[in-house]
A and B are shown apart, each in its own frame.
Chain A
């Protein structure tokens, strides 16, 4: 199996170009907080998959590249478009997807974000596209 097909091995290299210590420091329940156009480039679903495998609960960014965004939702990793400029490393965050807000408990700030489309929310609620299709037996509009 190539590295690309061996997800546990691939996960050891997650985001290493941006932060070489990311794979060793990330903890269960962490958020990845990013700037503009997160996930730019390829269509590879491996990108959100390894982030999720390492225990990341959601990715918050100013904007996402289209395919990364869609892939993240499809594998059940919330990708939230929100103003991240005031979030600092190690801030304690709470994400409320249905209310459309991120609470920065450290900075005592509330960061609202527009609700995602109903179709995406329905897919995310089932834990991903495959589980969604299994449940409804078809692809339906929420």
Chain B
């Protein structure tokens, strides 16, 4: 049997013939389908129009999230959310209601397991690849069909190997690594491809960091990002009471990659994406000192509990800069609760942060700290396109939560290693 990449292995196991190679177009069985308040009304409309198939029998694998604008700031968004809430309740589907967390974070906490095939109406669905699933974002009509037929069609992607040697130094995080990768690939450098990360730095990265890497695979245009499962995956699943879901899956030695990128983590310093594209990346030494009006620590890219612990370590006995707005949005209710238990919330509030309920927050630009005209916002999120945070007259810089925290203290882009 020819050697397979992670994408080929997982997709193959979801086809009738059991084995596939890059370039083939195949029909695959799906394990989970999901949508949310931003795409849900359009999707529900399509599901209702479609006569073929049925939601019955898959209620526990069909999930609706209310996460994009929570708590709802307008009656129009409240009505969209009511549509999603009522539809999922009336059909006995899983509802992850407002405040429970961002879909990708909750998928990684409660649902996605190694080897799963997951499709959702959100481009960052690829986040689940950090648990060694094949997960990819699609539009409302695609997911409507997948929900009712429990299958979809895919072109098996070619894979790019991102080989990360060494180990991430203190103060340098998975976010810095993925920004570095984006600077090398560009926003269309991996279009239609699967990004497969491996090497000693990945082996030494816990699942929280791996989810940050796979989350931003789509920023290079990739169909997905995937990381092999190992004892760290096993440990993570145990933490969320899902130890029995563990399966070891790794790419075969000799699998075919379209190309390979090597990065030495030892040499990496904190990375910053400048306005207005996530591939416009420079090392922090070139960007230090830029004045910032607002810091956002949130989004599905970051703000898992490890990130919150790092941020709290930086803010301990320190204050945010005067006149700077500091908004912290935990990625899920579970993360929020752990922040309370571990005293992180107290540290954040004492530093002068506004801590919002779990959700997409200002990353989505609908609420939660929309910047003023000419504001410079430093964000731990994944996209800095013009207008992304709700004001096209503001400028967005992207970096790790640690860099965001250090920046909030000084009021200008600051290397977090000064505080760690």
Contact = CB atoms under 8 A, between A and B. Distances in A.
Interface of A: 1-5, 17, 36-37, 40-46, 63-67, 70-71, 74-75, 117-119, 128-130, 133-134, 137-141
A129 B67 CA distance: 27
A2 B39 CA distance: 11
B22 interface: no
B145 A67 contact: no
A135 to B, nearest CB: 10
B42 interface: yes
A3 B77 CA distance: 9
A138 B221 contact: no
Interface string B34-52: 0000110110001001111
A140 to B, nearest CB: 8
Contacts of B14: none
7 contacts: A3-B76, A5-B42, A5-B76, A43-B139, A63-B188, A67-B123, A139-B152
A137 B291 CA distance: 58
A39 to B, nearest CB: 10
B153 interface: yes
Given A17-B392, A44-B38, A141-B27, A130 B145 contact: yes
A29 B18 CA distance: 44
A129 B386 CA distance: 32
Closest 6 CB pairs of A and B: A45-B139, A71-B139, A37-B188, A2-B76, A43-B123, A43-B137
A63 to B, nearest CB: 6
A43 B52 contact: no
A141 B25 contact: yes
B304 interface: no
Contacts of B123: 41-43, 67
Interface of A is mostly: loop
Given A2-B77, A128-B141, A138-B52, 15 more contacts: A2-B74, A5-B76, A17-B392, A37-B221, A40-B221, A42-B123, A43-B39, A43-B125, A67-B137, A70-B138, A130-B145, A139-B149, A141-B25, A141-B26, A141-B27
B25 A130 contact: no
B52 to A, nearest CB: 5
A18 to B, nearest CB: 11
A1 B82 CA distance: 10
Contact of B153 (A5, A128, A141): A141
Contacts of B138: 43, 67, 70-71
A127 to B, nearest CB: 12
A4 B137 contact: no
A65 B76 contact: no
B139 A70 contact: yes
Contacts of A40: 187-188, 221
B76 A133 contact: no
Interface in B56-96: 74, 76-77, 79-80
Given A65-B221, A117-B25, A4 B145 contact: no
Interface string B162-178: 00000000000000000
Nearest to B387: A17
B142 interface: yes
Nearest to A4: B38
A2 B80 contact: yes
A63 B190 CA distance: 12
A97 to B, nearest CB: 18
Contact of A130 (B49, B192, B221, B385): B49
B4 interface: no
B188 A46 contact: no
B155 interface: yes
A45 B42 contact: yes
Contacts of A3: 76
A130 B146 CA distance: 11
Q: Which of B139, B145, B191 has the most CB of A within 10 A?
A: B139
Contact of B188 (A36, A118, A134, A138): A36
A4 B41 CA distance: 9
A133 B74 contact: no
A40 B383 CA distance: 11
A130 B141 contact: yes
Contacts of B27: 139-141
Given A2-B79, A4-B38, A45 B188 contact: no
A137 B148 CA distance: 11
Nearest to A3: B76
